[in-house]
Amino acid sequence: MCGISGVVGEGNVIPVLFESIRNLEYRGYDSCGMAVLGGNDIAVRKNTGGVDEVNQKERLTALQGSAGISHTRWATHGRVTAANAHPHLSYDGRFAVVHNGIINNYQELKTLLKAQGVEFQSETDTEVVAHLLANAYLEFGTVEDALRAVLKQLDGTYALAVISPHQPDHIYAVRGGSPLVLGLSPQRNFAASDVNAFLPFTRKAVYLEDGEMAVLTPQGYTLSRLADGALVTRPPQMIEWDAETSRKGGYSHYMLKEIFDQPHTLTNALHIPRVEIAALAQSIQQARSTTLMGVGTTYFVGLLGQYAFSQLAGVLVQVISSDEFPEVAVVGPGDLVVAVSQSGETYDTRSAVELAKTSGARTAAIVNVMGSTLSRLVDQVIMQGSGPEICVVSTKAALSQMLVLVRTALELGLANGRLTPQAHNAWLADLDAFPDQLQKTLNEMSGFVRNLAEKTAHFQNWLFMGRGIYYPMAMEAALKMKEVTYLHVEGIPAGFLKHGTLALVDEHFATLAFFPPKAATRLHQQTLAAVEEVKARSGPVFGIYQENDHEAAQILDGGIALPVLPAGVAPLMSLVVAQLFSYFAALKLGRAIDKPRNLAKSVTVG
Ligand code: GLU
């Protein structure tokens, strides 16, 4: 994710362009840049850092012009460097491009361009677009036609804004999988990632659909379909939100927005190139031992990973909480330590990785923030590409990390012969289908989850339990629930119940049971038995189960019946429902959901 903004208008638009990109900074903030049309040239200024920092370094606001584009980056391809910051210029300096998204086939295109003698200035996927435009312009003679031709060659996701002195006072904007919206006013027109860019200047907006191109001038705009050039008419709408609501995409909290972002962020995790996943699997295969490491939510991500590696690849990996790593880990040359972190700055995880390195172990990381300390520290890194997570409690970042570990386990299972190619492909197909199923379930089930959360909000104590792979789900769900509701919530493997925890149960002590699909007969029976034990002590029990599970439905005091899903993705679906449950419970209790008391987003101290 990143922010892009372009403005074209009468007179000097740069102060407005600068403010518009600053308003998008929450979408990504590792580097920033601006390109402005002046006479026959394009001036580009860019550097690493947040918008104000880059302005101080590069004096963005000293630029002048009546058309410009800008970008605040959340790097996916290429390190966080000034050269990799956007905008990117074509080899002839006649096109400047900003991009939000990922060009999957950029390596191929780069190889072709290099063969023609084009020199690349950055490591990004984006730069190919600028050079391709220069080539296509020679062939087609107009910016618009050049853009159409280039887009046919791109595979991936994009929102692009382009300027060129070939067509002064014009901004070209296209959408293919990443958001883009026009802001319209008599003085100037905008093309931006979201309405925050221009809300202080205009509330009149036109949202682009995928496969559409907008051409903006100071006086107006045209909208057309990329495929056949047909003009599109779409009446503008007036945005009534205040700036804060708008940053949350209309959701009342970032937590809810980020829960609903998950179909998209999972798709990003599914698009991480297979070679990267296979390389991590290979490191695990070659290692004497593998340790997964995280702390808080990422510890539970690791725990999920442990089950995935055992079940899919027949390889038992250890999971250690980063804070305890120095006390318990025994690693050295030949061992692999895989750290999981959203921010890549978590002190406990960073110092544990440093320790592992000093001991001679190989290190790897799954991280969301490119350029973060952890991503630079390790031998091997997978960038999960979930975009900024603003809510203090992690939802979308954690779920994507789980998916990355499941993909890695599948790759390892294939490599070591534990999985046949057919089984491996069947699994991948289930994963691929998951984002759509999740979207549907989120749309259809939220009301039910809210009802259940409101109905049960008076309970002060909770037990979340699950067996097998539902145990890490119950643990992570319990952590989520305590973080946002401040209630006492214990997560346990359901098998623990009769070995102690049952002593807590009475009619005031609520339980949430995570049911596996009925097809997992043994686990299912064990979960039912645990629920019976609680019920026998008058404990109210709620559950997350599949809709064909009549036994669960009958015994529970309430719950959420989910569609029947393949075994590989069903646990992830339960977790999303539990995230929503925590959110609605916290809402009912009036908690500070996005910034719960006593917590910080990234714990950078020991
Ligand atoms: N893939 C591009 C890059 O890494 C754009 C990332 C973004 O959306 O900010 O530079």
pLDDT digits (tens, 9 = 90+) for 124-141: 999 999 999 999 999 999
Atom of ligand 1 at shortest range from CA of 102: 1
Range of weakest confidence among 219-223, 347-351, 421-425, 548-552: 347-351
Residue 433 lies in a domain: no
Same-domain pairing of 481 and 587: yes
| 585 found inside a domain | yes
Range of the domain at 29: 3-246
pLDDT digits (tens, 9 = 90+) for 324-336: 999 999 999 999 9
Ligand 1 site residues (CB inside 6 A) read 1-2, 28, 73-78, 99-102, 124-126
Give a yes or no: residue 430 inside a domain: no
Mutate to test the pocket of ligand 1, among 4, 48, 73, 157 (most ligand atoms within 8 A of CB): 73
Q: Is pLDDT of 605 > 80?
A: no
Of 191, 218, 246, the position where a domain reaches its end is 246
Residue pLDDT, tens place only, 274-284: 999 999 999 99
- Note the pLDDT of residue 388: 79
Q: Are residues 158 and 125 in the same domain?
A: yes
Query: Do 508 and 559 reside in the same domain of the chain?
Result: yes
Question: Do 237 and 264 have their domain in common?
Answer: no
* Structural domain ending residue among the three candidates 385, 419, 453: 419
Looking at ligand 1, which atom is closest to the CA of residue 99? 5
Long-range contacts from 494-499, C-beta under 8 angstroms, 24+ separation: 494/465, 494/466, 494/467, 494/470, 494/526, 494/527, 494/530, 495/467, 495/526, 495/530, 496/465, 497/463, 497/465, 497/530, 497/533, 497/534, 498/530, 498/533
Is 429 a member of any domain? Answer: no
Residue ID of nearest Cα to ligand 1 atom 8 = 100
Q: Distance, CA 86 to ligand 1 centroid (Å)?
A: 8
Kindly report, residue by residue over 213-267, the tens digit of the pLDDT. Answer: 999 999 999 999 999 999 999 999 888 777 777 778 889 999 999 999 999 999 9
**pTM score of the predicted model:** 0.80
In a domain, 176, yes or no: yes
Question: Cα of 520 to ligand 1 centre, how many Å?
Answer: 42
Q: Which mutation among 124, 175, 178, 370 tests ligand 1's pocket best, with the greatest number of atoms within 8 A of CB?
A: 124
Cβ-based neighbour number of residue 17 at 10 Å: 29
- List Cα–Cα distances, 512 to 370, 534, 565, in angstroms: 36, 11, 20
Comparison of pLDDT for 470 and 387, the residue scoring more: 470
Residue 427 lies in a domain: no
332 and 397 co-located in one domain: yes
299 CA to centre of own chain? 18
Catalytic residues: 2, 601
Q: Any residues with CB less than 8 A from the CB of 327 and at least 6 apart, and which? A: none
What's the gap in Å between 304 CA and the centre of ligand 1? 29
Same domain flag for 337 and 473 = no
Is 113 found in the same domain as 29?
A: yes
**Structural domains of the chain, count:** 3
> H-type helices in 456-487, by residue range?
470-485
178 Cα nearest atom in ligand 1: 8
User: Angle at CA 159, nearest 5°, toward 344 and 269?
Assistant: 40
- Find the 30 Cα to ligand 1 centroid distance in Å: 11
Task: Give the Å distance between the CA of 46 and the centre of ligand 1.
Answer: 14
Of 214, 246, 278, which closes a domain? 246
Q: Do 407 and 522 fall into the same domain?
A: no
Asked if residue 315 and residue 278 are part of one domain, the reply reads: yes
CATH classification of the domain holding 119: 3.60.20.10
Q: Are residues 121 and 192 part of one domain?
A: yes
Quick check: is 438 in a domain?
Answer: no
Asked if residues 395 and 401 have their Cβ atoms less than 8 Å apart, the reply is no
Q: Which atom of ligand 1 is nearest to the CA of 101?
A: 8
Q: Is residue 424 part of a domain?
A: no
- Residues 495, 541 within the same domain: yes
Asked if residue 470 and residue 395 are part of one domain, the reply reads no
CA distance 399 to 472: 12
Whichever domain contains 402, its CATH number is 3.40.50.10490
304-329 pLDDT tens trace: 999 999 999 999 999 999 999 999 99
Residue 250 φ/ψ region, left for φ over 0, alpha for ψ in the -120 to 50 degree band, beta for the rest: left
